[in-house]
């Protein structure tokens, strides 16, 4: 689980947190979005900015805040120099594992899904998301499970560090397709550089209606931050 925000590998190599009082305005705006006070219809918030703008630091600090408040469902921090974190190969397994820990009632359902189809991790991201996360959540709903106090925030950092531009774009579309069907109210933060292919992806009609954007300047100044739907 090297890709989770508090993994030992990240602590040794690339973990960063916001300095106290740094980017407070950003965290506050994201929390407002999480709770539906800003862009309440947006499934995804795209946090973007140039290298060094503080995206990973914000994502890490937000993960800590969400974990403390009981909102954190899962995290995944891409990193191009780490084999287990520079592709989408381990993404769904990592998210499903964390979700099953955050919502214990999911655990046996995820285990059953893997037992029924041991090759599920060799299938597409769409199939993995459906079988290991969405379908178990739907089963819980059918059984009358109360999701009101469940964690519901997924934080994905460094999407631009995942191998393959087309893979990155397809990955975003898979997230939209899957989590719009979730009975649990999910909010997904994606942090990345504003690469051209990602701008095109997020501007597409399929994505834009379920998206909010939060832009970071190169300066650590709340006045340089804006969020829109």
Chain segment 97-120, per-residue pLDDT in tens: 999 999 999 999 999 999 999 999
CATH of 21-35+42-228, one of 2.60.40.10, 3.40.50.300, 3.40.640.10, 3.10.20.600: 3.40.50.300
Contacts of 225 (CB under 8 A, 6+ apart): 25, 26, 29, 214, 215, 216, 217
Tell me how far apart the alpha carbons of residues 75 and 154 are, in angstroms, rounded to a whole number. Answer: 6
pLDDT at residue 15 in the model? 54
Beta strand extents in 78-175 (DSSP E only): 153-157
pLDDT at 14 over 90: no
Chain segment 40-56, per-residue pLDDT in tens: 899 999 999 998 888 99
Nearest CA among 177, 178, 97 for reference residue 134 = 178
pLDDT at residue 163 in the model? 95
Return the structure tokens found at 91.
Answer: 């993404």
| SS3 category, 121 | helix
pLDDT at residue 24 in the model? 82
pLDDT at residue 227 in the model? 53
Chain segment 149-167, per-residue pLDDT in tens: 999 999 999 999 999 999 9
């Amino acid at each position: 689980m090297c890709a989770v925000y508090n993994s030992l590998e990240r602590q040794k190599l690339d973990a960063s947190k916001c300095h106290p009082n740094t980017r407070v305005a950003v965290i506050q705006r994201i929390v407002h979005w999480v709770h539906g006070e800003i862009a309440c219809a947006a499934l995804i918030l795209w946090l973007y900015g140039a290298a060094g703008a503080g995206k990973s630091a914000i994502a890490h600090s937000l993960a800590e805040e969400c974990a403390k408040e009981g909102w954190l469902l899962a995290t995944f921090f891409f990193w191009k120099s780490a084999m287990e974190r520079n592709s989408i190969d381990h993404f769904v397994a990592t998210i499903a594992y964390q979700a099953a820990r955050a919502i214990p009632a999911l655990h046996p359902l995820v285990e059953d899904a893997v037992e029924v189809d041991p090759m599920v991790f060799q299938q597409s991201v769409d199939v993995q998301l459906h079988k290991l996360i969405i379908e178990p959540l739907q089963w819980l709903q059918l059984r009358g499970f109360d999701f009101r106090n469940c964690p519901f925030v997924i934080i994905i950092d460094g999407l631009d560090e995942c191998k393959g531009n087309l893979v990155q774009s397809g990955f975003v579309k898979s997230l939209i397709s899957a989590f719009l069907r979730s009975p649990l109210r999910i909010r997904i933060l994606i942090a990345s550089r504003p690469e051209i292919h990602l701008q095109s992806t997020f501007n597409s009609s399929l994505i834009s209606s379920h998206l909010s954007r939060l832009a970071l300047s190169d300066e650590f100044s709340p006045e340089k931050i804006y969020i829109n739907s």
